[in-house]
Amino acid sequence: MASLAFSATTKSYVSSSNYRIVLYKYDAKPERLPFKEGIFARKCNTRDSIVTNVAIQPSPLFPSPEKQDFAERNHVAWTSVRQERWEGELDVQGMIPLWLSGTYLRNGPGLWNIEDYNFRHLFDGYATLVKLHFENGRLIAGHRQIESDAYKAARKNRRLCYREFSEVPKTHNFLAYIGELANLFSGASLTDNANTGVVKLGDGSVVCLTETQKGSIIVDPNTLDTLGKFEYKDSLGGLIHSAHPIVTDEEFLTLLPDLINPGYLVVRMEPGTNERKLIGRVDCRGGPAPGWVHSFPVTEHYVVVPEMPLRYCAQNLLKAEPTPLYKFEWHPDSKGFVHVMCKASGKIVASVEVPLFVTFHFINAYEEKDEEGRVTAVIADCCEHNADTTILEKLRLQNLRSLMGVDVLPDARVGRFRIPLDGSPYGKLEAALDPDEHGRGMDMCSINPAYLGKKYRYAYACGAQRPCNFPNTLTKIDLFEKKAKNWYEEGAVPSEPFFVARPGATEEDDGVVISMISEKNGDGYALVLDGSTFEEIARAKFPYGLPYGLHGCWVPKN
């Protein structure tokens, strides 16, 4: 196994099986730093602990040319994962609620090099799936590389074989380049590296996702084994889809951008099937191509389709080297729009122009009603980057690694769209609360899932304590009081805060918030906060720091 980043005494015993049992004994004494006003933390008793880790002998990852000195110079959040897989029980400081029973899965890019070739962008990395299994106050953690065709081909051939977010396989002659372009148009060269999200379908299946449709991969939530592709068995076609579908126990909703006749197909899939059915189509109102739809929101009766002026660009797809906006182009003259479609009929009930906007992640949406109960407008909230496209460039790994502590993170806010349903041609986009409440940083959001599509009060996200080059706090947003509570530790990079409601809860924020923290000293830990008070109630140290991850889901214990 890889050496540990923290000071430890290690004993290793190798059995006759394929398992290595390693005992790490360490003094877990995380140093507490002063919190700013509004931040809550509870000091936990520290103690010597024995952590027993059982890990299958890992397949070697691509050797990194930077070796240990690279890891020492860079934050572990942006350093490739040290081994292909690991699992073990963690020592818990504090108290995990006994009602918390199930598995939190987090997906994200975790391997950013193939031998001596280093990827350029955060979104390029090969997917690493991490689990936190909670049961009876105990915590078992593990991680494993998702065995996509892209990952397996790179491991076998020791080179990039599929197109990633900013990476293109190198060709040695013109004929090979022409062949690669043909594979692009057919979709054969597009990656299936499912490094963005993970969802639990209504039938219990767990699927990891990215923006290519072929990058839908079924995994075992217990072992993290890759089980195979999730094949869409319908005639809707297309190569890409929203990386964030809306998934409940009753349905699966997503958007399929149409790059030929600019627009979006809104589709639904029932639990237990692989067949998507068309609800309706939205034609784009501006631009040469549809806007990027990384995510979208829904209400109880409507699907909200954003048309962002950051639009897909076929010319940029053909280029061997990335442009500043990668596969997209900024078309402010094409304006921004939001469309509202009825789920039941597929009819478009509103299509309005809105101020220019840039967002990766929508938070939630709901229907606004008058005194007689008639729906008068749709409210849709998102993590909005003030129409500033430079956020994509700031996520280059070189910037993340070299600009720690430099205040270059573009400002962001909770952007609130108001889309009237009275036939008005214009909608509004305003900040839902003062962005200074969360440090003018805002991304990676979650809510109580019982409030999906309904009027809600609380959202959990990553915010900022300036100066920073990346969101570095966890924040609880109160949209009624227009206030925020923030958790922060110096040098920490927290992943998406994920809310899990307490069974039987009647209050919206009655539950816990789970996040995984990467520390600047190379360590890392799982963090559990009280959803109501936002106080820390437990943390559990990993045997070594894990790289930053993106999005997760909750799989309750059967």
State yes or no: 241 annotated in a binding site.
no
> How far is it, in rounded angstroms, from Cα 554 to Cα 557?
10
State yes or no: 143 annotated in a binding site.
no
> How far is it, in rounded angstroms, from Cα 499 to Cα 28?
26
DSSP string of 248-269, one letter each residue: -SS-EEEEEEETTTTEEEEEEE
CA 107 to chain centre: 7
Each residue of 295-323: b (16+ CB within 10 Å) or e? Answer: bbbbbebbbbbbbbbbbbbeeebeeeebe
- Quote the tokens at residue 508: 């919206």
> How far is it, in rounded angstroms, from Cα 356 to Cα 337?
8
DSSP secondary structure code for residue 61 in this structure? P
Q: Which residues contact 334 (CB under 8 A, 6 or more apart)?
A: 286, 287, 288, 309, 311
The three-state (H, E, C) secondary structure of 338-370, written as one string: EEEEECCCCCEEEEEEECCCCEEEEEEEEEEEC
> How far is it, in rounded angstroms, from Cα 219 to Cα 229?
9
> How far is it, in rounded angstroms, from Cα 360 to Cα 272?
29
State yes or no: 172 annotated in a binding site.
no
Rg of the chain, C-alpha, whole Å: 23
Q: Identify how many contiguous H helices and E strands the chain contains and give both numbers.
A: 6, 38
> How far is it, in rounded angstroms, from Cα 210 to Cα 16?
39
CA distances from 259 to 46, 90, 141, 290, 362 (A): 56, 47, 41, 7, 22
The three-state (H, E, C) secondary structure of 105-144, written as one string: EEECEEECEECCEECCEHHHCEEEEEEEEEECCEEEEEEE
Q: Which residues contact 225 (CB under 8 A, 6 or more apart)?
A: 144, 219
- Quote the tokens at residue 336: 């921004």
Between CA 219 and CA 82, with CA 539 as vertex, the angle to 5 degrees is 50
State yes or no: 438 annotated in a binding site.
no
DSSP secondary structure code for residue 212 in this structure? B
Q: Which helix (H) or strand (E) holds 155?
A: helix 149-157
> How far is it, in rounded angstroms, from Cα 177 to Cα 185?
13
Q: Are 512 and 500 in contact (CB under 8 A)?
A: yes
Binding site, annotated residues? 244, 294, 361, 551
- Give the annotated binding-site residues for Fe cation: 244, 294, 361, 551
